[in-house]
Amino acid sequence: MSDTASSLERDLERLLDQERFPPPPEFVESAEVTELEQVDDHEAFWADKAGALDWAQPWEQVLDWSNPPFAKWFVGGKLNVAYNCVDRHVEAGLGDRVAFHWRGEEGEERDVTYADLHRDVQRFANVLKDHGIETGDIVGIFLPMIPEVVVAMLACARIGAPHNVVFGGFSPESVKERMEVSNAKALITVDGARRKGKTAAVKAAVDEVMEGMPSVKTVFVVRSTGAETPMTEGRDVWVDEAMEAAAADCPAEPFDAEHPLFILYSSGSTAAPKGILHTSGGYLTGVAYTHKLVFDLKPESDVYWCTADVGWITGHSYIVYGPLANGTTSVMYEGAPDYPDKNAWWDVGEKTGTTIFYTAPTAIRAAMKWGPEYAEKHDLSKLRLLGSVGEPINPKAWLWYHKVIGGERCPIVDTWWQTETGHIMISPLPGVTETKPGSATQPLPGIDARVLTDDGEDAGTAQGFLTLNRPWPGMLRTLFGDDERFVETYWKKYGKETYFVGDAARKDEDGYFWVIGRVDDVLNVSGHRMSTAEIESAIVSHEKVAEAAVIGQPDEDSGQSVTAFVTLGGSQADGDDDTVNEIREHVAKKIGKLARPKRIIWADDLPKTRSGKIMRRLLRDIAEGKELGDVTTLRDPDVMQQLETKVKERQSADEE
């Protein structure tokens, strides 16, 4: 170990003994909020926050909760989300302010101002209208991290066409499924996307699944890399050409506060993804307020960088809607943290003068593994606040982040929330909260979170189920086209007034929340949410496979990793390496590379109950080498012994 490495180890050891981190005095001195707001009147509180937006027509009622769990916020109010994110800043004389310092992986630079957005969003909105997109039509978006993705989302918002963004890492088959189930009328995609020096021909790949998307009448293609792009006459439209031909002005028509803003598909406990539906007034109120509060935002001086992809909720809420509603200058980076080399992020951070940095624990753990020398080579002294999201952050990674990236002077906000909640729910306030590494600390003002026992009693300081006990403005309104599943998934366990989160948590003696992880069959791999059922169904659709069961295993790098127990069809023996690769590639094709199993274990049979239900709990025990839980309900207890042998064989093969 080198001297610097061992001195870092010593520093981390020292920090490990320090259990609490009060906000640094220099930070508090200039913090926007230094006292926790007391909320006596919940509705008045949120009405006050909604007042930060520009309403074309004021609301008559703050909250209508007469038909739980279907909430309506700011009833009767009207606003235009795109107007709030763009026009009003330009009207206030801030047109020259940079909205995005966009940076590409080869060092390309493009600064997009609010005036640029104003011009482009209007033209793009007119392009949509010119091609028959009307208010209420669903528009799919499958784009990489380029400024056009923001323009496309805002163009949809401007004309009241809910967008359905699919993360760029998903496969065209996943795009197809999401377009089909949302009955999307159009899809906005790109000629090609860059990743680590290579270009993927996105439009050409999407074309292969077009037949499965009968509702999609128009494909809008953004020109980005110049990749070879087949165009179908009468269906496909080059966005740049159409924008040139379109009118410059597109009025921002006000829509109802409850007008749907977007659908975002997320994984649940079955193979079918859930179309989480968010609406306009409440959602924008929630993201704008929490973005300002949690990140201590000073829009005139901060350079804010959220490293998420726009295709996830974090991108929707904290790259696009929250920051833009607040007139923020953000960094948007199209690339990986380790391309062209492991300096990539810190180069961007230094050159853009990033002051607020928001990322995922998995990225911090990767940086930690690569070593501090990359970050240390850069001047990151402008950084004043760090954030974490997507999964629990282990104290060691927290401390490393605090020490190496934050130079021990930046508070860390560990923000807990979900696609469903729309915005941050539990988080420290950087100028107020004493933090404890690994805890998301306490609910934000206006939010009522609790930990309950299985029977709905207060769990005290014991582990229990996390719940949210009062409606909040950014909450999902339903699952698209499936009210029943909405009620069943979130509002059945504890009744229609208590939202069941799906996370296990513990509240300590100081009232701090420690989120432990999912309690359903949802995996969290590198902060990406996936369902075991979705991956199983992809594996089973491979011709050689008869049956599969997927579990998540703890993983040092990615938080969790995917392990699949697979039974091959017919009288086939165990698969070989080629079969492993085939199955992994098949999953990549069906869902996306992110869902590929890290480990495949061949199984002659799977542990099942007498009614044929696979007992994943036992598979988890066996994979972890734990004492087996109750096996009395198994149809065939012998299965377990065979599996144990297989797991051991696999482990010794892995070790070699």
* Site residues (vs ligand WTA, CB under 6 A): 266, 312-314, 389-392, 414-419, 440, 502-503, 515, 517-518, 524, 529
Return the number of the residue (69 or 428) whose C-beta is nearest ligand WTA. Answer: 428
Return the number of the residue (216 or 466) whose C-beta is nearest ligand WTA. Answer: 466
Q: How far is the CB of 98 from ligand WTA (least distance, A)?
A: 26
Q: How far is the CB of 266 from ligand WTA (least distance, A)?
A: 5
Return the number of the residue (155 or 525) whose C-beta is nearest ligand WTA. Answer: 525
Q: How far is the CB of 419 from ligand WTA (least distance, A)?
A: 3
Return the number of the residue (74 or 312) whose C-beta is nearest ligand WTA. Answer: 312
Return the number of the residue (311 or 471) whose C-beta is nearest ligand WTA. Answer: 311
Around Cβ 70, how many Cβ atoms within 10 Å?
A: 16
Strand ranges for 569-640 from DSSP E: 599-602
Q: Which amino acid is at 22?
A: P
Pairing of strands 139-141, 186-190: parallel
Q: How far is the CB of 308 from ligand WTA (least distance, A)?
A: 8
Return the number of the residue (184 or 425) whose C-beta is nearest ligand WTA. Answer: 425
User: Rounded to whole angstroms, how far apart are CA atoms 483 and 479?
Assistant: 6
| C-beta of residue 408 within 8 angstroms of C-beta of residue 384 | no
Question: Which tokens sit at 157?
Answer: 């918002």
Provide the CB-side half-sphere exposure for 152 (13 A, CA): 30
Return the number of the residue (105 or 414) whose C-beta is nearest ligand WTA. Answer: 414
Q: How far is the CB of 512 from ligand WTA (least distance, A)?
A: 12
User: Rounded to whole angstroms, how far apart are CA atoms 410 and 432?
Assistant: 13
Return the number of the residue (118 or 518) whose C-beta is nearest ligand WTA. Answer: 518
Q: Provide DSSP, 186-248.
A: EEEEES-EEETTEEE-HHHHHHTTGGG-TT--EEEEE-SS-------TTTEEEHHHHHHHS-S
Return the number of the residue (207 or 420) whose C-beta is nearest ligand WTA. Answer: 420
- Closest by alpha carbon to 204, among 172, 239, 180, 250? 172
Q: How far is the CB of 318 from ligand WTA (least distance, A)?
A: 9
- Altogether, the residues listed in the chain come to a count of 656
Provide the CB-side half-sphere exposure for 581 (13 A, CA): 3
Question: Which tokens sit at 512?
Answer: 């701090």
The CA dihedral of 40, 44, 48, 50, to the nearest 10 degrees, is: 130
Q: How far is the CB of 360 from ligand WTA (least distance, A)?
A: 9
Around Cβ 125, how many Cβ atoms within 10 Å?
A: 27
Q: How far is the CB of 553 from ligand WTA (least distance, A)?
A: 16
Q: How far is the CB of 293 from ligand WTA (least distance, A)?
A: 16
Q: How far is the CB of 563 from ligand WTA (least distance, A)?
A: 19
| C-beta of residue 562 within 8 angstroms of C-beta of residue 535 | yes
Q: How far is the CB of 273 from ligand WTA (least distance, A)?
A: 12
Return the number of the residue (307 or 524) whose C-beta is nearest ligand WTA. Answer: 524
- Helix H or strand E encompassing 646: helix 638-655
Q: Using CA of residue 436, residue 437, residue 443, residue 449, what is the dihedral sign?
A: negative
Q: How far is the CB of 246 from ligand WTA (least distance, A)?
A: 35
Return the number of the residue (285 or 524) whose C-beta is nearest ligand WTA. Answer: 524
User: Rounded to whole angstroms, how far apart are CA atoms 593 and 645?
Assistant: 29
Return the number of the residue (231 or 519) whose C-beta is nearest ligand WTA. Answer: 519
Around Cβ 136, how many Cβ atoms within 10 Å?
A: 13
Backbone angles phi, psi at 117, to 5 degrees: -60, -40
> Alpha-carbon Rg of the chain, whole angstroms?
25
Distance of CA 270 to the CA centre of its chain: 19
- Closest by alpha carbon to 153, among 321, 304, 284? 321
| C-beta of residue 549 within 8 angstroms of C-beta of residue 639 | no
Question: Which tokens sit at 222?
Answer: 């953004």
Q: How far is the CB of 312 from ligand WTA (least distance, A)?
A: 6
Return the number of the residue (162 or 502) whose C-beta is nearest ligand WTA. Answer: 502
Q: Which amino acid is at 308?
A: A
Question: Which tokens sit at 246?
Answer: 């379109």
The residue sitting closest to ligand WTA, measured at its beta carbon, is 419
Question: Which tokens sit at 520?
Answer: 């359903």
